[in-house]
Structure 1
Protein backbone atom coordinates (compact mmCIF):
# COMPACT_ATOMS: atom_id res chain seq x y z
CA UNK A 1 0.00 0.00 0.00
CA UNK A 2 1.28 3.45 -0.96
CA UNK A 3 0.16 7.08 -0.73
CA UNK A 4 1.23 8.49 -4.10
CA UNK A 5 3.66 10.94 -2.48
CA UNK A 6 6.96 10.52 -4.34
CA UNK A 7 10.04 10.18 -2.11
CA UNK A 8 12.81 10.27 -4.70
CA UNK A 9 13.55 10.20 -8.40
CA UNK A 10 15.66 7.16 -9.26
CA UNK A 11 17.96 6.84 -12.26
CA UNK A 12 18.00 3.61 -14.29
CA UNK A 13 21.60 2.31 -14.34
CA UNK A 14 21.13 -1.19 -15.76
CA UNK A 15 18.48 -3.21 -17.59
CA UNK A 16 19.03 -6.94 -17.93
CA UNK A 17 16.63 -9.31 -19.67
CA UNK A 18 16.38 -12.87 -18.35
CA UNK A 19 13.88 -15.03 -20.23
CA UNK A 20 10.67 -12.92 -20.14
CA UNK A 21 11.72 -10.99 -17.02
CA UNK A 22 13.48 -7.63 -16.84
CA UNK A 23 15.90 -6.88 -13.99
CA UNK A 24 15.93 -3.13 -13.39
CA UNK A 25 18.77 -1.51 -11.45
CA UNK A 26 18.10 1.90 -9.95
CA UNK A 27 20.40 4.47 -8.33
CA UNK A 28 18.62 6.32 -5.53
CA UNK A 29 19.27 8.25 -2.34
CA UNK A 30 16.85 5.90 -0.52
CA UNK A 31 18.92 2.78 -1.34
CA UNK A 32 20.81 2.73 2.02
CA UNK A 33 17.43 2.50 3.81
CA UNK A 34 16.16 -0.44 1.71
CA UNK A 35 16.37 -4.15 2.44
CA UNK A 36 15.90 -7.28 0.35
CA UNK A 37 12.18 -8.25 -0.06
CA UNK A 38 10.99 -4.65 0.53
CA UNK A 39 8.29 -3.22 -1.75
CA UNK A 40 9.04 -0.04 -3.68
CA UNK A 41 6.74 1.63 -6.21
CA UNK A 42 8.49 2.49 -9.51
CA UNK A 43 6.36 4.88 -11.60
CA UNK A 44 3.51 3.49 -9.51
CA UNK A 45 4.37 -0.19 -10.01
CA UNK A 46 4.98 -2.17 -6.82
CA UNK A 47 8.17 -4.24 -7.22
CA UNK A 48 10.27 -6.24 -4.76
CA UNK A 49 13.91 -5.38 -4.04
CA UNK A 50 16.03 -8.44 -4.92
CA UNK A 51 19.57 -7.05 -4.67
CA UNK A 52 21.35 -4.06 -3.10
CA UNK A 53 24.85 -2.75 -3.85
CA UNK A 54 26.06 0.59 -2.48
CA UNK A 55 23.70 3.28 -3.85
CA UNK A 56 21.97 0.96 -6.33
CA UNK A 57 19.33 -1.72 -5.95
CA UNK A 58 17.65 -4.15 -8.34
CA UNK A 59 14.02 -5.17 -8.82
CA UNK A 60 12.49 -7.64 -11.29
CA UNK A 61 9.49 -7.03 -13.53
CA UNK A 62 7.70 -10.03 -15.03
CA UNK A 63 6.18 -10.19 -18.53
CA UNK A 64 2.66 -9.30 -17.29
CA UNK A 65 4.02 -6.16 -15.63
CA UNK A 66 6.01 -5.18 -18.72
CA UNK A 67 2.93 -5.65 -20.93
CA UNK A 68 0.61 -3.52 -18.77
CA UNK A 69 2.92 -0.69 -17.69
CA UNK A 70 5.52 1.69 -19.11
CA UNK A 71 8.41 -0.19 -17.44
CA UNK A 72 9.11 -2.08 -20.67
CA UNK A 73 9.92 1.23 -22.38
CA UNK A 74 12.63 2.23 -19.88
CA UNK A 75 16.12 3.13 -21.12
CA UNK A 76 19.37 3.69 -19.27
CA UNK A 77 19.44 7.07 -17.43
CA UNK A 78 15.64 7.37 -17.46
CA UNK A 79 14.08 8.86 -14.33
CA UNK A 80 11.52 6.89 -12.31
CA UNK A 81 9.31 8.07 -9.47
CA UNK A 82 9.99 6.11 -6.27
CA UNK A 83 7.96 5.55 -3.12
CA UNK A 84 8.45 3.01 -0.35
CA UNK A 85 5.42 1.24 1.11
CA UNK A 86 3.32 3.18 3.60
CA UNK A 87 3.95 2.69 7.34
CA UNK A 88 0.91 1.96 9.48
CA UNK A 89 0.21 4.91 11.75
CA UNK A 90 1.68 7.52 9.36
CA UNK A 91 -0.38 10.30 7.84
CA UNK A 92 -2.01 9.51 4.50
CA UNK A 93 -0.91 12.63 2.61
CA UNK A 94 -1.97 11.46 -0.86
CA UNK A 95 -4.66 8.82 -1.30
CA UNK A 96 -4.79 5.01 -1.04
CA UNK A 97 -2.58 3.65 -3.84
CA UNK A 98 -2.15 -0.09 -4.31
CA UNK A 99 0.84 -0.06 -6.65
CA UNK A 100 -1.18 -2.06 -9.19
CA UNK A 101 -1.25 -0.16 -12.48
CA UNK A 102 -4.60 -0.49 -14.27
CA UNK A 103 -3.41 0.64 -17.70
CA UNK A 104 -1.16 3.04 -19.52
CA UNK A 105 -2.15 6.40 -20.94
CA UNK A 106 -0.57 8.97 -23.24
CA UNK A 107 0.32 12.58 -22.52
CA UNK A 108 -1.60 14.65 -25.09
CA UNK A 109 -0.88 18.21 -24.01
CA UNK A 110 1.22 20.27 -21.59
CA UNK A 111 0.25 23.86 -20.89
CA UNK A 112 2.22 26.19 -18.63
CA UNK A 113 -0.08 28.45 -16.65
CA UNK A 114 1.70 31.24 -14.84
CA UNK A 115 3.87 29.13 -12.53
CA UNK A 116 1.96 25.85 -12.70
CA UNK A 117 1.24 23.31 -15.43
CA UNK A 118 -1.82 21.53 -16.78
CA UNK A 119 -1.07 18.07 -18.17
CA UNK A 120 -3.68 16.29 -20.31
CA UNK A 121 -3.82 12.53 -20.88
CA UNK A 122 -5.85 10.06 -22.93
CA UNK A 123 -6.52 6.41 -22.15
CA UNK A 124 -8.46 3.46 -23.57
CA UNK A 125 -11.94 3.72 -22.04
CA UNK A 126 -12.83 0.20 -23.26
CA UNK A 127 -11.03 -1.14 -20.18
CA UNK A 128 -13.87 0.33 -18.06
CA UNK A 129 -11.71 2.62 -15.91
CA UNK A 130 -13.03 6.08 -15.15
CA UNK A 131 -12.11 9.40 -13.67
CA UNK A 132 -14.37 11.90 -11.97
CA UNK A 133 -13.99 15.65 -11.52
CA UNK A 134 -12.03 16.36 -8.31
CA UNK A 135 -11.45 12.60 -7.87
CA UNK A 136 -8.08 10.95 -7.27
CA UNK A 137 -5.81 9.52 -9.97
CA UNK A 138 -2.29 8.13 -9.77
CA UNK A 139 0.05 8.99 -12.67
CA UNK A 140 3.47 7.28 -12.60
CA UNK A 141 2.86 6.73 -8.89
CA UNK A 142 2.01 10.38 -8.15
CA UNK A 143 -1.25 11.08 -6.31
CA UNK A 144 -3.15 13.84 -8.11
CA UNK A 145 -6.61 15.38 -8.44
CA UNK A 146 -8.55 15.25 -11.72
CA UNK A 147 -9.51 18.72 -12.98
CA UNK A 148 -11.13 17.89 -16.31
CA UNK A 149 -12.78 14.48 -16.62
CA UNK A 150 -14.04 13.06 -19.91
CA UNK A 151 -14.88 9.50 -21.05
CA UNK A 152 -11.37 8.69 -22.32
CA UNK A 153 -9.27 11.65 -21.18
CA UNK A 154 -8.58 13.94 -18.25
CA UNK A 155 -6.26 16.70 -17.05
CA UNK A 156 -4.38 17.41 -13.83
CA UNK A 157 -2.80 20.61 -12.51
CA UNK A 158 0.80 20.38 -11.31
CA UNK A 159 2.37 22.80 -8.82
CA UNK A 160 6.08 23.70 -9.12
CA UNK A 161 7.10 21.39 -6.23
CA UNK A 162 5.52 18.35 -7.92
CA UNK A 163 6.99 19.34 -11.29
CA UNK A 164 10.50 19.55 -9.81
CA UNK A 165 10.32 16.48 -7.52
CA UNK A 166 8.77 13.91 -9.88
CA UNK A 167 9.46 12.79 -13.44
CA UNK A 168 6.65 15.04 -14.74
CA UNK A 169 9.44 17.41 -15.83
CA UNK A 170 10.49 14.78 -18.42
CA UNK A 171 7.02 14.41 -19.98
CA UNK A 172 6.26 15.58 -23.51
CA UNK A 173 3.41 14.93 -25.93
CA UNK A 174 3.35 11.18 -26.60
CA UNK A 175 4.96 10.13 -23.30
CA UNK A 176 3.47 6.82 -22.10
CA UNK A 177 2.45 6.96 -18.44
CA UNK A 178 1.14 4.47 -15.86
CA UNK A 179 -2.37 4.99 -14.51
CA UNK A 180 -3.88 3.62 -11.32
CA UNK A 181 -7.48 4.70 -11.00
CA UNK A 182 -9.09 5.41 -7.63
CA UNK A 183 -9.70 2.12 -5.77
CA UNK A 184 -13.19 3.17 -4.60
CA UNK A 185 -14.16 4.12 -8.14
CA UNK A 186 -13.02 0.69 -9.37
CA UNK A 187 -15.26 -1.09 -6.86
CA UNK A 188 -18.25 1.11 -7.71
CA UNK A 189 -17.71 0.47 -11.44
CA UNK A 190 -17.53 -3.29 -10.83
CA UNK A 191 -20.69 -3.28 -8.69
CA UNK A 192 -22.60 -1.26 -11.30
CA UNK A 193 -21.67 -3.81 -14.00
CA UNK A 194 -23.01 -6.79 -12.01
CA UNK A 195 -26.53 -7.65 -13.15
Structure 2
Protein backbone atom coordinates (compact mmCIF):
# COMPACT_ATOMS: atom_id res chain seq x y z
CA UNK A 1 0.00 0.00 0.00
CA UNK A 2 1.44 3.39 -1.02
CA UNK A 3 2.16 5.77 1.84
CA UNK A 4 0.23 9.04 1.50
CA UNK A 5 0.92 10.71 4.83
CA UNK A 6 -1.25 11.13 7.91
CA UNK A 7 -4.77 12.27 6.94
CA UNK A 8 -5.97 15.54 8.44
CA UNK A 9 -8.86 13.54 9.84
CA UNK A 10 -6.39 12.07 12.36
CA UNK A 11 -6.32 15.47 14.08
CA UNK A 12 -10.12 15.70 13.95
CA UNK A 13 -10.27 12.20 15.42
CA UNK A 14 -8.29 13.29 18.48
CA UNK A 15 -10.28 16.50 18.86
CA UNK A 16 -13.43 14.41 18.99
CA UNK A 17 -11.83 11.85 21.32
CA UNK A 18 -11.07 14.59 23.84
CA UNK A 19 -14.83 15.20 24.06
CA UNK A 20 -15.85 11.53 23.90
CA UNK A 21 -13.20 9.46 25.66
CA UNK A 22 -15.32 6.38 26.21
CA UNK A 23 -15.35 2.77 25.11
CA UNK A 24 -18.63 3.30 23.27
CA UNK A 25 -17.27 6.17 21.16
CA UNK A 26 -14.04 4.28 20.50
CA UNK A 27 -15.82 1.16 19.30
CA UNK A 28 -17.94 3.25 16.95
CA UNK A 29 -14.78 4.89 15.54
CA UNK A 30 -12.35 1.94 15.71
CA UNK A 31 -12.25 1.41 11.94
CA UNK A 32 -11.66 5.12 11.46
CA UNK A 33 -8.72 4.96 13.92
CA UNK A 34 -7.23 2.03 11.99
CA UNK A 35 -7.56 3.85 8.67
CA UNK A 36 -6.44 7.40 9.50
CA UNK A 37 -4.09 6.82 12.46
CA UNK A 38 -2.80 3.31 13.10
CA UNK A 39 -2.36 2.24 9.49
CA UNK A 40 -0.46 5.35 8.33
CA UNK A 41 1.71 5.26 11.46
CA UNK A 42 2.72 1.67 10.80
CA UNK A 43 3.55 2.55 7.19
CA UNK A 44 5.64 5.52 8.33
CA UNK A 45 7.44 3.32 10.86
CA UNK A 46 8.37 0.88 8.12
CA UNK A 47 9.81 3.67 5.96
CA UNK A 48 11.94 5.08 8.79
CA UNK A 49 13.22 1.77 10.17
CA UNK A 50 16.07 1.17 7.67
CA UNK A 51 17.76 4.44 8.66
CA UNK A 52 16.85 4.96 12.31
CA UNK A 53 16.15 1.51 13.73
CA UNK A 54 13.07 -0.41 14.79
CA UNK A 55 10.20 1.93 15.73
CA UNK A 56 7.51 1.31 18.31
CA UNK A 57 3.98 2.47 17.45
CA UNK A 58 2.38 2.94 20.85
CA UNK A 59 -0.91 1.26 21.68
CA UNK A 60 -3.94 3.54 22.11
CA UNK A 61 -5.06 2.24 25.51
CA UNK A 62 -4.05 3.99 28.72
CA UNK A 63 -2.90 2.14 31.84
CA UNK A 64 -5.39 3.55 34.33
CA UNK A 65 -4.61 1.25 37.28
CA UNK A 66 -2.73 3.90 39.27
CA UNK A 67 -4.20 7.04 37.72
CA UNK A 68 -6.94 9.35 38.95
CA UNK A 69 -7.80 9.94 35.28
CA UNK A 70 -9.74 6.85 34.20
CA UNK A 71 -10.11 7.89 30.55
CA UNK A 72 -9.47 4.64 28.67
CA UNK A 73 -7.71 6.01 25.57
CA UNK A 74 -4.62 8.12 24.98
CA UNK A 75 -5.21 11.60 23.57
CA UNK A 76 -2.40 11.22 21.05
CA UNK A 77 -0.67 8.64 18.88
CA UNK A 78 3.08 8.33 19.22
CA UNK A 79 5.86 6.63 17.27
CA UNK A 80 9.20 6.15 19.04
CA UNK A 81 12.61 4.79 18.04
CA UNK A 82 14.76 4.20 21.15
CA UNK A 83 18.50 4.79 21.02
CA UNK A 84 18.97 4.19 24.77
CA UNK A 85 16.55 3.66 27.68
CA UNK A 86 13.93 6.44 27.71
CA UNK A 87 15.49 8.38 24.83
CA UNK A 88 15.46 8.41 21.04
CA UNK A 89 13.44 9.83 18.13
CA UNK A 90 9.74 10.67 18.35
CA UNK A 91 6.74 11.58 16.17
CA UNK A 92 3.20 12.35 17.37
CA UNK A 93 -0.26 13.41 16.24
CA UNK A 94 -2.91 14.79 18.60
CA UNK A 95 -5.73 17.33 18.68
CA UNK A 96 -3.25 20.19 18.13
CA UNK A 97 -1.54 18.66 15.09
CA UNK A 98 1.82 16.96 14.61
CA UNK A 99 5.14 17.25 16.42
CA UNK A 100 8.47 15.54 15.89
CA UNK A 101 11.96 15.53 17.31
CA UNK A 102 14.11 13.60 19.71
CA UNK A 103 15.92 13.38 23.00
CA UNK A 104 15.06 12.08 26.45
CA UNK A 105 11.66 12.13 28.13
CA UNK A 106 13.00 10.95 31.51
CA UNK A 107 16.35 10.24 33.20
CA UNK A 108 16.51 7.57 35.88
CA UNK A 109 18.77 8.23 38.87
CA UNK A 110 21.95 6.92 37.26
CA UNK A 111 21.28 8.68 33.97
CA UNK A 112 20.58 11.97 35.74
CA UNK A 113 23.89 11.78 37.60
CA UNK A 114 25.70 11.03 34.34
CA UNK A 115 23.89 13.83 32.54
CA UNK A 116 24.82 16.43 35.15
CA UNK A 117 28.42 15.28 35.30
CA UNK A 118 28.71 15.54 31.52
CA UNK A 119 27.05 18.98 31.40
CA UNK A 120 29.45 20.22 34.08
CA UNK A 121 32.48 18.80 32.23
CA UNK A 122 33.89 21.45 29.89
CA UNK A 123 34.22 19.52 26.63
CA UNK A 124 30.94 17.60 26.83
CA UNK A 125 29.10 20.56 28.34
CA UNK A 126 30.16 22.99 25.62
CA UNK A 127 29.27 20.42 22.96
CA UNK A 128 25.73 20.13 24.34
CA UNK A 129 25.47 23.91 24.61
CA UNK A 130 26.26 24.26 20.90
CA UNK A 131 23.84 21.50 19.92
CA UNK A 132 20.98 23.03 21.92
CA UNK A 133 21.65 26.55 20.63
CA UNK A 134 21.57 25.35 17.01
CA UNK A 135 18.31 23.48 17.52
CA UNK A 136 16.61 26.44 19.20
CA UNK A 137 17.79 28.70 16.38
CA UNK A 138 16.28 26.23 13.89
CA UNK A 139 12.88 26.53 15.59
CA UNK A 140 12.87 23.58 18.01
CA UNK A 141 11.26 23.83 21.44
CA UNK A 142 13.21 22.37 24.34
CA UNK A 143 11.25 20.04 26.60
CA UNK A 144 11.75 17.88 29.65
CA UNK A 145 11.08 18.31 33.34
CA UNK A 146 13.34 20.83 35.08
CA UNK A 147 13.94 22.10 38.59
CA UNK A 148 12.66 25.51 39.62
CA UNK A 149 15.98 26.08 41.41
CA UNK A 150 19.48 24.67 40.99
CA UNK A 151 20.31 21.04 41.88
CA UNK A 152 21.70 20.39 45.35
CA UNK A 153 25.44 21.00 45.47
CA UNK A 154 25.52 23.10 42.28
CA UNK A 155 26.77 26.67 42.65
CA UNK A 156 24.54 29.56 41.63
CA UNK A 157 27.18 30.71 39.12
CA UNK A 158 27.87 27.27 37.66
CA UNK A 159 28.35 27.23 33.87
CA UNK A 160 25.33 25.94 31.94
CA UNK A 161 23.06 26.13 34.97
CA UNK A 162 19.97 26.14 32.75
CA UNK A 163 21.00 22.73 31.39
CA UNK A 164 21.98 21.40 34.81
CA UNK A 165 18.47 22.12 36.09
CA UNK A 166 16.94 19.72 33.60
CA UNK A 167 15.81 16.22 34.60
CA UNK A 168 15.25 15.29 30.95
CA UNK A 169 16.03 17.01 27.66
CA UNK A 170 14.39 16.83 24.27
CA UNK A 171 13.90 19.08 21.24
CA UNK A 172 10.64 19.15 19.30
CA UNK A 173 9.22 20.86 16.24
CA UNK A 174 5.58 21.73 16.99
CA UNK A 175 4.05 22.03 13.54
CA UNK A 176 0.27 22.15 13.85
CA UNK A 177 -1.54 20.98 10.71
CA UNK A 178 0.69 21.58 7.66
CA UNK A 179 -0.68 20.66 4.25
CA UNK A 180 2.17 18.21 3.62
CA UNK A 181 1.24 16.01 6.58
CA UNK A 182 -1.35 14.31 4.35
CA UNK A 183 1.15 13.62 1.54
CA UNK A 184 3.97 11.16 0.96
CA UNK A 185 6.38 14.03 1.69
CA UNK A 186 5.68 13.60 5.41
CA UNK A 187 8.20 10.75 5.58
CA UNK A 188 10.91 13.07 4.18
CA UNK A 189 10.07 15.78 6.70
CA UNK A 190 10.31 13.32 9.60
CA UNK A 191 13.56 11.91 8.19
CA UNK A 192 15.08 15.39 7.89
CA UNK A 193 13.90 16.41 11.36
CA UNK A 194 15.33 13.30 12.99
CA UNK A 195 18.62 13.88 11.18
CA UNK A 196 18.62 17.44 12.51
CA UNK A 197 18.20 16.30 16.12
CA UNK A 198 20.74 13.49 15.71
CA UNK A 199 23.50 15.54 17.45
CA UNK A 200 21.33 15.74 20.59
CA UNK A 201 20.39 12.06 20.42
CA UNK A 202 24.05 11.13 19.90
CA UNK A 203 25.19 13.34 22.81
CA UNK A 204 22.72 11.63 25.13
CA UNK A 205 23.82 8.20 23.98
CA UNK A 206 27.52 9.05 24.36
CA UNK A 207 27.34 10.97 27.64
CA UNK A 208 24.32 9.56 29.45
CA UNK A 209 23.30 6.23 27.98
The TM-score, its normalising length taken from structure 2, stands at 0.27
Higher helix share: 2
Which of 1 and 2 has greater Rg? 2
The TM-score, its normalising length taken from structure 1, stands at 0.28
Higher strand share: 1
